[in-house]
Amino acid sequence: MSGVSPFPDLNPAQRAAVEHEEGPLLVVAGAGSGKTRVLTARIARLIAQCDVAPREILAVTFTNKAAGEMRERVSRALGEDPAGMWIGTFHGIGARLLRMHAPLVGRTSEYTIYDEDDSLGVIKRLMERHRISVKEFAPKAIAAEIGAAKNALVDVEEFDSLARTPLATAAAKVYRDLEITLRAANAVSFDDLLVLPVQILRANEDVRVRLARRFRHVLVDEYQDTNRAQYEFVRLVAAEHRNVAVVGDDDQAIYGWRGADIRNILDFERDFPSARVVRLEENYRSTSAILDLANRVISENTARRGKTLRATRSGGEQVVLLEAADDRDEAEAIAEGVQAWRAAGRRLSEIAVLYRTNAQSRGFEEVMRRGAIPYRLVGAVRFYDRREIRDLIAWLRLVANPADDEAFRRAIGAPKRGVGETTLELLAAEAQQAGIPLLEQARRAPGISGMRTATRDALASFVALVDRLRAAAADTSVDRLLVDLIDRSGYGEALRAEGPEGLDRLDNVRELVTSAAETIIDDGGEVGLRPLDHFLQRATLVTALDALGPDADAVTMMTVHTAKGLEYPFVCVTGLEDGLFPLARAFDDPDTLEEERRLLYVAITRAGERLWLSWAHQRRRNGELLPSIRSSFLRNLAAAALEDRRTVRLRATARHAGSMATGSWRRGASDESPAFGRGSRPSWSPREGARVPSFLADEDASQDLPRFVAGERVQHARFGSGTIAEVNGTGKDAKVTVDFDDEEVGRKRLVIAFAGLQRGHD
């Protein structure tokens, strides 16, 4: 195979990385610089021209797909399969090593790998043993604490000594018994596939030496994403020959929140002082305008090696900075851009809409649906199909229709209240015999024999809350109804107890409240059961959408984390506001803030031809329109680097604001806002609904809302002219009852903040 040339047409930096033979090598590979090509060409050259047998090579990456592609490319370059080479993920390699040496960690080679559900089952039983309440600490949160400790190679004793929070203290008790339980079951957790191989290599020098001598060359992809356990495994295996080649990009290190340690790539020469460093800076994906922006953004970080991407593609459009009035306006403007791209003969599958959090997808999903634009969510469930959204929709369905037994079955367990399947089946049997709905049968729980007192109390409490909400629905907007439901049912607290995943779900709950508020706006501020029915109908139609096939021409929507490693001709990076991108918590931690900036760098470098960045002056949170401030990441960019573009609605609003330039709209848009100094945490101050001009003061200053009195004539955009009969409430809860002149409209209850009422001139 000596005549094989597996590395044609490489640029000088790529060739240097491929042809490096002995000693440690760090390849700092910028986005779109051909790192996968370099890795596979290097492996092929070692085998074809450097007298290295395939069995002497260990290649590690992060996904099975990447490992499969790497093997396939090497096979094509060599003209044959590299039989004997170890190539796979860290977990796959760890499982293989563990099979070979299972007795050294108290297992047999037939050990079982527990999936997430299996592991959670063990953790729940251990929590019961230690009398740790699953209501106070979600098993998933305990599992996350233990998993983070394992990946950082923190053993039970060290973890116990470091435990400072109630959650960590509870996790320490479970952690202590977990290994004993798993060993007794001849099982390992997913995290153990990283940890136990390291334990084997550390405690058994003969095994380590044998493995290290076999693998003359160790290659690692995405090295910036390695955690402590993965780093230690690589160091131990490569210690003998020191022929370790790692490829990665410190500017794309975005997984610190799940244990990845950027210091592994920044301090590579600390462990391998003779390491050669090669930088791949030629980008084959993006235009020069896009790369110039990426370089400007990432240059603000201090914890980086430093490199400058250079475009190999000439020309290209200027990057657009889209400024919108609010998040709905932002989504509609991006949908217009998508339609224009399609009208120009381009495919929708060439477009990606990226956002910082999954909760942001809801607004884009609804706008795409209204515009009949096919879309696909990657790495997430469609908004209205998410567990927490379906839970709350079930509650609302039951409030709107007390005879909805399916809604009852779901709502009674959201959150869990000690009413199990046995009780439900008992209720169902009694209800069927009596010919009544489950909710009505639950009212009769005190008369059912054989039911525990605690269960009776739980059912009575549930029924009372449904009754309360149903009574309130006649005079309360859907968003307020949801807030009351989430608070009084304990659903919000239940999600918080689930740990990080629960907090993400809570973001989605907030988006549901926002969606409900938008329904009230669309209904002209009317409250009562009809808007609730309208809202539920809209939600049901969303969930009934048919799933797109894998080859459908559709816009791709996903978080920036999910987009890593992908590329699209047209990319929209949305929600670039302080408190959202970067997240608010990043302002308390410089390291987290730098990771957020790296995340923006990753988002920008997904784009090939066209890039839009967008932000909104106001964004709905918990159903309220709150002022936003353009992301601090965009502040130091030269004006020439971006094409500033404002939406039609924003331009109209600005003209309307006119002489009120000193109002809060202008202050909110300023980079020097007194409420949000550079580097500090955003100080959100609530605002009223979309119908209220953006320059109004805080919601508590209710004197800024229109004041109406009984007997006054008013005009409504949908319902026409009428006379105010009653005025109730203050601030955001202020309502009016209006007798409209049109007999078919009749009397309506309206939320003033959403109604857009004008004083009549009869």
Whether 388 is catalytic is no
Q: Which residue type, as a one-letter code, is found at position 679?
A: G
How is residue 306 written in tokens?
């430093």
Instruction: Indicate which residue of 37, 606, 687, 735 is catalytic.
Output: 606
Question: DSSP 3-state assignment of 220?
Answer: strand
- Of 597, 33, 580, 555, the C-alpha closest to 293 is 597
The strand pair at 351-355 and 568-573 is best described as parallel
Residues 283, 374: Cα–Cα separation, whole Å: 31
700 neighbors 669 (Cβ within 8 angstroms): no
CA–CA distance, 397 with 414 (Å, rounded to integer): 13
Is residue 131 part of the annotated active site? The answer reads no
Both tokens of residue 74?
Answer: 């090497």
Pairing of strands 607-621, 624-627: antiparallel
Q: Quick one: which H or E segment has residue 694?
A: none
Report the distance separating Cα 105 and Cα 198, nearest Å: 11
Measure the CA–CA gap between 124 and 138, rounded to whole angstroms: 9
Q: Name the active-site residue from 230, 252, 360, 653.
A: 252
Report which secondary-structure segment, H or E, holds 154. Answer: none
Please tell me the number of Cα atoms within 13 Å of 134 on its side-chain side: 16
Q: If you search the block for the tokens 């907030």, which residue do you land on? A: 510
Record the tokens describing residue 701, joined without a space. 């200053």
Concerning whether 252 is annotated as a catalytic residue, the answer is yes
* Residue 36 appears among annotated catalytic residues: yes
According to DSSP, the residues that pair with 579 across neighbouring strands are 583
Which positions ≥6 away from 694 have C-beta within 8 Å?
A: 325, 617, 618, 625, 627, 653, 657, 663, 664, 665, 668, 687
From 36, 312, 318, 339, active-site residue: 36
The verdict on whether 150 is a catalytic residue reads no
> Distance between CA 540 and CA 162 in Å, rounded?
48
Question: What are the backbone angles phi and psi of residue 50, rounded to the nearest 5°?
Answer: -115, 15
In the chain, what is the straight-line distance between the N-terminal and C-terminal CA atoms, in Å? 95
| Residue tagged active-site, from 56, 221, 404, 594 | 221
Report the half-sphere exposure of 102 (CA within 13 A, side-chain side).
16
Catalytic residue among 35, 150, 480, 732: 35
DSSP-based three-state secondary structure for 132: coil
Which structure tokens are listed for 286? 């993006």
Non-local CB neighbours of 45 within 8 Å, separated by 6+ positions: 6, 7, 18, 19
Q: Which residue of the set 145, 179, 191, 222 is catalytic?
A: 222
Residues belonging to the active site? 35-36, 221-222, 252, 606
